[in-house]
Amino acid sequence: MGQQVKGEFDVKRSMEPACDMGDGVEVGHFRFDKRFHGDLDAVGVVHMLAAMTPVENSAAYVAIERISGTLQGRTGTFFTQHNGIMDRGAPTLSLSVVPDSGTGELAGLSGRMAIDIVDGKHFYTFDYSFRTED
């Protein structure tokens, strides 16, 4: 049975050297340092590659994030994978726990996270469960 936690997080962005995609084309490389508050009491480090297009409001990003801390009293780390698309202003985001990436008391963790930005504040909704071994 799945569970859900919600809360706020702080985020700080820094530029990394651009990533060479060949033929003189580069994509942006960014690092984000996050601090999650609430039932997910953790820090996250994200590395993102972002590709812009000549069409305004069309772009995409992929990212890997390592989250370390406590989820409802269970301590450990896990990775998430982000896949974000902006299709002429219409955003979609898939943000999932990398299978079998949980350590410590977070071993067996799976789930999906949603991110909402309201009035400049960042909020997460994390739907998760733990794999039960047969």
Distance CA 30, CA 114 (A): 20
State phi, psi for 106 to the nearest 5 degrees. -100, 10
Percent above pLDDT 70 for the chain: 98
Distance CA 38, CA 41 (A): 6
Q: Please check the confidence at residue 118 and state whether its pLDDT lies above 60.
A: yes
Strands 40-52 and 26-36 turn out to be antiparallel
What are the boundaries of each domain within the chain?
7-18+26-130
User: Mapping DSSP to helix (H, G, I), strand (E, B) and coil, where does residue 121 land?
Assistant: strand
Mean pLDDT of 108-120: 94
Q: Which residue has the tokens 């008391």?
A: 105
Burial of 22 (0-12, 13-18, 19+ CB in 10 A): exposed
Q: What is the pLDDT of residue 1?
A: 61
The reply to whether the predicted model has a pTM over 0.85 is yes
Tell me the CATH number for domain 7-18+26-130. 2.40.350.10
pLDDT tens for 67-77 read 999 999 999 99
Distance CA 14, CA 1 (A): 38
Q: What value, to the nearest 5°, has the Cα angle with vertex 101 and ends 3 and 44?
A: 75
As given in the structure block, the two tokens for residue 119 are 């009035």
Q: Please check the confidence at residue 89 and state whether its pLDDT lies above 60.
A: yes
Q: Please check the confidence at residue 134 and state whether its pLDDT lies above 80.
A: no
As given in the structure block, the two tokens for residue 127 are 């739907």
